[in-house]
Amino acid sequence: MNLTTENILLIGSLLLFISIIVGKTSYKFGVPTLLLFLVVGMLAGSDGILGIYFDSPKLAQLIGIVALNFILFSGGLDTDWTSVKPILREGIVLSTVGVLLTALTLGTFVFYVTDFTIYESMLLGSIVSSTDAAAVFSILRSKSLALKSNLRPTLELESGSNDPMAYVLTIAFLTLVINQDQSLSSIIPLFLQQMVLGGIAGFGFGKLSKFIINRIKLDFEGLYPVLVIALMFITFSATDFVGGNGFLAIYICAVFLGSQDLIHKKTILKMYDGLAWLMQIVLFLTLGLLVYPSEITPVIGIGLLISLFLIIVARPVSVFLSLMFFKMELRRRFYISWVGLRGAVPIVFATYPLLAGIDKADMIFNIVFFISITSVLIQGTTLSVVAKWLNVALPAKNKTMTNLDQFILDLPKSSLKEFELLPDDHCVNKRIVDLNFPQSTFIVMIKRNGEYIRPGGSTKLKVHDVLMVLADEDKDFNMLSDFLHQPKFLVKP
């Protein structure tokens, strides 16, 4: 079946509906949702039931890049900076040195077990060197898996920040495959340029985005998420235009914004959560349509061998070497090694050799696709089991909710108190978003002149406003009281 203007919406919406229904029931059978999305796409493709012909790596790559923008940005917004900060060094080392070691270890193995050249082998290793943010985020959160000792933030930080490194390595070794006369040292300036410019641009656009979101006055609340989408794509494309790594920039930008007070932040977070799921479904469906199952069969043997080496040897070696200078329990290192999920990102990166037209591009793509499937199937279905086996999972009664979860879900605190603003208080005539209220407290309502106002980030506080505040402990209320009643002359402008 060929996709036409007349039937593309019908087929697309049906595939989306089927994917959601299949995803809803998949975990009853222990099958990761993302794998089901791929299967639905494959069944709808040329070798499947519907026979939809789709053979456009360029379009698939475009869809993949757009989807990864949303997935990485959503993951960055959801990152709780207070939980990430203690493990920041470990996460950065895993997402850089760990990715490099994985690529080199796997590339060396591929060179010895196939007829690939050394650069082609390293290209394949680079493509599958990073853990997949979509796979890790969705599986950890859908399983509601609580982990000990900051394991979860470590895994989420690594998966959200290591795609840029894999992208740089992929482009670098693809360049060496195409231009055999270049030396390995020639890719070092490219690497430094991508990472440095990407990091600077991400932080810079994060501060600029916060300023724009909080200062621009839009008539409708629903326009603020649209504004953030525009800022997200500007961050990615502008960074890429100047030679930086756009994926790194949008992730850093999102992590920064997620830790700041923003107008209508709750609306933005909820919308991005839904969009991230939509993009994951669309991405996996598209990649499922792009692959031909009949072409996967010939590479099952070599694909399984490479996949098992990646899971059992390359990933653990890279994790243990990367973390060798950090104090960490052995079981934590083993669990991090096991959560090396490969998903859609490697398949998207595998379209770059296809578009470049190198000799073994089709074989690389098919092997990468098989590796992604086996990784999600083997590792994704056993995360809970391995966590319990290694004793790194928290009992259900000890599972805690992050500040971000409470923010999204509006979960109440245990106590409620009222605070009246006095004429000399520094908060008077200022917007809530500009005040940096203590995160342990939550303003649920403002009483003004006998009327109740639901507070938002743009709400300006007035003299004699009565703030109805929720918190857990008396010390939180005492801290808020001290904060609210600071005299204006003691507060820096």
What are the pLDDT digits (tens) for 240-271? Answer: 999 888 888 998 899 899 888 888 888 888 88
User: Whose CA is closest to 338, among 402, 382, 283, 295?
Assistant: 382
Between vectors from CA 305 to CA 343 and to CA 23, what angle results, nearest 5°?
Answer: 30
Q: Using pLDDT thresholds of 50, 70 and 90, give the confidence band for residue 6.
A: low
Residue 95 lies in a domain: yes
Q: What is the rounded average pLDDT for all residues in the chain?
A: 80
Q: Flag whether pLDDT at 207 surpasses 90.
A: yes
Centroid of chain to Cα 115: 35
* The predicted structure's pLDDT at residue 8: 65
**How large is the average pLDDT for residues 211-223?**
85
Q: How many domains does the chain have?
A: 2
Residues 219 and 366 in one domain: yes
Specify the 3-state DSSP secondary structure of 51.
Answer: coil
DSSP code string of 244-300:
S-HHHHHHHHHHHHHTS--TTHHHHHHHHHHHHHHHHHHHHHHHHHH--HHHHGGGH
* The predicted structure's pLDDT at residue 29: 46
Residue 173 lies in a domain: yes
CA distance 320 to 437: 41
Residues 309 and 427 in one domain: no
CATH of the domain at 465: 3.30.70.1450
Residue 149 lies in a domain: yes
Supply the pTM of this predicted model: 0.74
* The predicted structure's pLDDT at residue 423: 81
What are the pLDDT digits (tens) for 290-315? Answer: 877 777 888 889 999 999 999 999 99
Contact indicator for 132, 38 with CB cutoff of 8 Å? no
CA distance 277 to 71: 8
Which residue shows structure tokens 């796979």?
135
Residues 374 and 451 in one domain: no
Structure tokens at 467: 């703030």
Residue 2 lies in a domain: no
Residues 442 and 323 in one domain: no
Specify the 3-state DSSP secondary structure of 471.
Answer: strand
Residue 486 lies in a domain: yes
What are the pLDDT digits (tens) for 406-464? Answer: 444 444 445 677 888 888 887 888 887 777 777 677 787 888 887 788 777 777 888 88
Residues 340 and 392 in one domain: yes
Residues 380 and 420 in one domain: no
Q: Count the Cβ atoms, other than its own, within 10 Å of residue 429.
A: 12
CA distance 118 to 123: 9
Residue 59 lies in a domain: yes
Full residue range of the structural domain in which residue 287 is found: 8-398
Pairing of strands 451-453, 415-420: unpaired
What are the pLDDT digits (tens) for 137-173? Answer: 666 655 555 666 677 778 878 877 788 888 889 988 9
DSSP code string of 21-46:
HHHHHHGGGT--HHHHHHHHHHHHST
DSSP code string of 196-256:
HHHHHHHHHHHHHHHHHHHH---S-TTHHHHHHHHHHHHHHHHHHHTTS-HHHHHHHHHHH
Residue 1 lies in a domain: no
Residues 314 and 458 in one domain: no
CA distance 202 to 152: 23
* The predicted structure's pLDDT at residue 161: 79
CATH of the domain at 109: 1.20.1530.20
Q: Flag whether pLDDT at 397 surpasses 50.
A: no
* CA-based radius of gyration for the chain: 24
Residues 197 and 123 in one domain: yes
Residue 403 lies in a domain: no
Between vectors from CA 204 to CA 201 and to CA 207, what angle results, nearest 5°?
Answer: 145
Question: H-helix or E-strand containing 420?
Answer: strand 415-420
State which of 370, 398, 426 marks the end of a domain.
398
Residues 385 and 418 in one domain: no
Residues 433 and 342 in one domain: no
State which of 364, 398, 432 marks the end of a domain.
398
Residues 352 and 480 in one domain: no
What are the pLDDT digits (tens) for 56-69? Answer: 788 888 988 898 88
Structure tokens at 436: 């940096």
CA distance 233 to 45: 30
Pairing of strands 466-471, 451-453: unpaired
Residues 175 and 303 in one domain: yes
User: Whose CA is closest to 251, among 350, 335, 172, 167?
Assistant: 167
